[in-house]
Amino acid sequence: MDATHEVFNQPAPLVGYNLFETNRPLQGALKFNAPQLHTAALSQLGAALGSAEMQMHARLANVHTPVLHTHDRFGRRVDEVEFHPSYHALMSAAVGAGLHGAAWAGTGPSPHVQRAAGFMLFTELEPSILCPISMTYAVSPALRGNAAIHADWGPKLASLWYDPSLQPWSEKPGVTMGMGMTEKQGGSDVRANTTRAVRVGSDAWGERYELTGHKWFFSAPMCDAFLVLAQAPAGLSCFFLPRVLQDDTRNAIHIQRLKDKLGNKANASSEVEFRGATAWLVGEEGRGVPQILEMGTMTRLDCALGTSGLMRQALSLALNHTTQRQAFGKPLVEQPLMKNVLADLALESEAATALALRLARAFDRQDDAHERLMARLLTPIAKFWICKRGSLFAQEAMECLGGNGYVEEGGEGVMARIYREMPLNSIWEGAGNIMALDLLRGLRKGDAVAAIAQELAPARGTDAALDRLADALPARIEAMATEAEARRLAQDVALAVQGALLVQSAPDAVASAFCASRLGGDWGHVFGTLGTAVDLDAIIARAQPH
C-alpha cells in the first residue's frame, strides 16, 4: 500500500528526563526555604518519575480504572476495590519516596519542605494516587488525639513499605489512612451529619463505639483505617475506623458504589454505609470538627502543592511542544504571541511553587510563633488562590498544543488528564468560599497584621507596586473584610506574598514581570497579555524542561 504522506512536524514526547534537575523554579524555592536541604533524593526521584516506565504506569492506572466488588462469587460481602497493577506500582513508588507519613519521623533540616517538593514532582507524573498518600501524611497531627492508637499506628504510617492487602494492622509492614466527613445532606456543613455513634465499651485504645450511618464521599476506601465524624451523645465527634479488625474480620463498612468522577480516575472515591462499624474515639466527644480539621489543614497544603505540580507539568508539555512544532517558518516558541503566553504561564507556575513551598516551610518550624500564625493564614490563602488559577492555567497550556492537547492519546494526552484533574484540588477539602471564610477566621488569631507585615518586610523597597499593595493591606485586614469581600482579600494577600517571595528568590526578569503584571496592572484579563518591557526570552529559558 502506497503511503499517502510523510509524518513530520509532530513533536517528540517529553520522556526520559529528570523532573527535578530541569525544574529551576523549584530548585530556587528550595534554596530559599530550606538552604541546608540535601537534594540528592529529590534528583533521584525526579529521574525515576520522568522515565518511560513510570509514564506507562501513570497512563495504565488511568485507563484501567478501579473496579468495585461488593460480594464474592459465593455471595459473601467483601467490599473490595480492584486496581490495575500499575496503580500499585505508583503507590509503591510514592510510599518508597516517603511522600506519605515519613516527614513526621524525619530527622533532616526540613522534612516537610523536602516531602512537599517530592509531592509536587510526583503530581507531575500522576496525581490521582496521591489522594491516599496525602491523607496518610495528614493524619498524624489529628491521630495524636488518641495516644494509644498513635503509638501503635504511627510507625507503620511512616514506613516505606506499601502493602495493599486487607489484613489487621499488626500483620502489615506499612499502612495507609483515609478520612470521611461529608454526607449527602451536608457537604461542607459537616455539623449536619447524621451518622450516629453509640458507646459499647473500652479497651487498650480507649472508648469504643459502634457507628451507624453513611458517608457521601469516602475516598480511597482500601486504606487500612479512616478518621470519620459521627454524632455522639456530647455532639459531633472524631473516630478512628479500621478497615479490618484485629480478629481478622472485616469491619462493617459497606461500599455502595464508586464515584464516576470528571478526573482523578486512578483513585477510587466511594459512597459507604456503616452498619454497626467498630470505631474508637479520637480526642474529646463533641470536639470532632476541630480534631479532624488538624488533618484537613495538611491536606489543604497538599491541594496547593498538587496544583502547583500540575501547573509545572502543563507548562513543561506546552514548552516541549512549542519548542519543536514549526508554524509560519519558525518554531512556535519563537512566535511573539506564543512567547507572551508561555512566559505568562511560567510566571504563574513559579509564583505558585514559591507560595506552596513557603507554606510547607511553616510546618517545619511550628516551634516559632510567626511560623505557626503564617501556617494558619497561608493555608487557606494558598489553597484558594493557587487552586483557583489551576483550571485557567491548564486551559491555556492546552491551547498551546492545539488539537493535540485535547486528545487522550499518547504523550500529549497527559494534558487532557491534567485539565480534568485541575478542578479537584479547588473543591476537595473546602471550595473557594470555604477557604475565604477560613481566612477571615484566621485573621482573628494573634496579630495577623503584624505577621503579614513581617512576612512582606524583606521585600519592601524593591518594587513600587508591591510596596503599594503592602501599604494597603493592614487597613483592610484590620477592618475585617465582610464575607462578601473575603475572596478579594484572599487574592490580594496571596499576590502580595507571591510577589515578595519572587523578589527574594527568583531572577529579576521573573520577579519584575510578576509584580508589573499581577500587582502593577500592566496585564490583561487572560494569559499572554504581559507588557512590552518584559524579558520574555529569559523567563521562558528558565522554565524550559529540556
> What's the CATH number where 445 sits?
1.20.140.10
Domain shared by 175 and 82, yes or no? no
2 lies in a domain? no
Cross-strand partners of 244: 250
Same domain, 48 and 180: no
Of residues 160, 159, 96, the one with CA closest to residue 122: 96
Q: Which residue has the cell 475506623?
A: 241
Buried b (16+ CB within 10 A) or exposed e, 246-281: eeeebbbbbbeebeebebbbbbbbbbbbbeebbbbb
Residue ranges of the chain with per-residue pLDDT less than 70: 1-2, 481
Quick one: 279 and 380 in the same domain?
A: no
303 in a structural domain: yes
pTM of the model: 0.96
Whether 19 is covered by a domain: the verdict is: no
Neighbours of 438 (CB within 10 A): 24
Kindly state whether residues 240 and 327 are assigned to the same domain: no
CATH number of the domain that residue 211 is part of: 2.40.110.20
Displacement of CA 322 from its chain's centroid (Å): 28
- In a domain? residue 163: no
Residues 309 and 360 both lie in one domain: yes
Task: Please tell me whether residues 396 and 503 are part of one structural domain.
Answer: yes
Q: Which three cell numbers stand for residue 12?
A: 517528540
Task: Say whether both 130 and 179 belong to one domain.
Answer: no
- Which of 137, 157, 177 terminates a domain? The answer is 157
Residues 6+ apart with CB under 8 A from 317: 14, 397, 401, 405, 412, 414, 415, 418
Residue 485 host element (H or E): none
Domains identified in the chain, total number: 3
From start to end of 452-511, where are the E strands?
Answer: none
pLDDT of residue 481: 62
Asked, for residue 17, whether it belongs to a domain, the answer is no
**Any domain includes 13:** no
Pairwise CA distance, residues 492 & 205, whole Å: 46
Q: Show which of 136, 157, 178 is a domain's final residue.
A: 157
The distance from CA 318 to its chain's CA centroid, rounded to whole angstroms, is 22
CA distance 317 to 319: 5
Q: Cα–Cα distances in Å, from 50 out to 46, 124, 147, 354?
A: 6, 9, 40, 22
Integer Cα distance of 104 and 450 in angstroms: 29
Tell me phi and psi for residue 351, to 5 degrees: -65, -40
Q: Which long-range contacts (CB under 8 A, 24 or more apart) does 200-208 make?
A: 200/278, 204/148, 205/146, 205/148, 205/149, 205/152, 205/240, 205/280, 206/146, 206/148, 206/149, 206/280, 206/281, 207/280, 207/281, 208/278, 208/279, 208/280, 208/281
| Nearest alpha carbon to residue 530 among 395, 312, 336, 343 | 343
- Do 277 and 302 fall into the same domain? no
The answer to the question of residue 241 being in a domain is yes
Contact 278, 245 (CB under 8 A): yes
Buried b (16+ CB within 10 A) or exposed e, 159-192: beebbeeeeebeebebbbbbbbbbbeeeeeebee
CA R_g for the chain? 24
356-372 pLDDT, tens digit each: 999 999 999 999 999 99
Distance CA 252, CA 213 (A): 11
Instruction: Write the CB contacts of 516 (distance below 8 Å, at least 6 apart in sequence).
Output: 465, 522, 523, 530, 531, 533, 534
Q: Is 107 exposed, middle or buried (0-12, 13-18, 19+ CB in 10 A)?
A: exposed
Instruction: Enter the C-alpha cell of residue 370.
Output: 510567626
End residue of a domain, out of 133, 157, 181: 157
Distance CA 224, CA 211 (A): 17
221 and 341 assigned to the same domain? no
Domain-located, residue 3: no
Is residue 503 within 8 Å of residue 358, measured between CB atoms? no
**pLDDT for position 42:** 98
279 three-class SS = strand
Determine the pLDDT at residue 188.
75
Q: 190 with 325, same domain?
A: no
Pairing of strands 77-82, 67-71: antiparallel
**Domain limits for position 91:** 24-157
Q: Quick one: 112 and 144 in the same domain?
A: yes
Q: Answer yes or no: do 384 and 461 share one domain.
A: yes
In angstroms, the CA 99 to CA 133 distance is 7
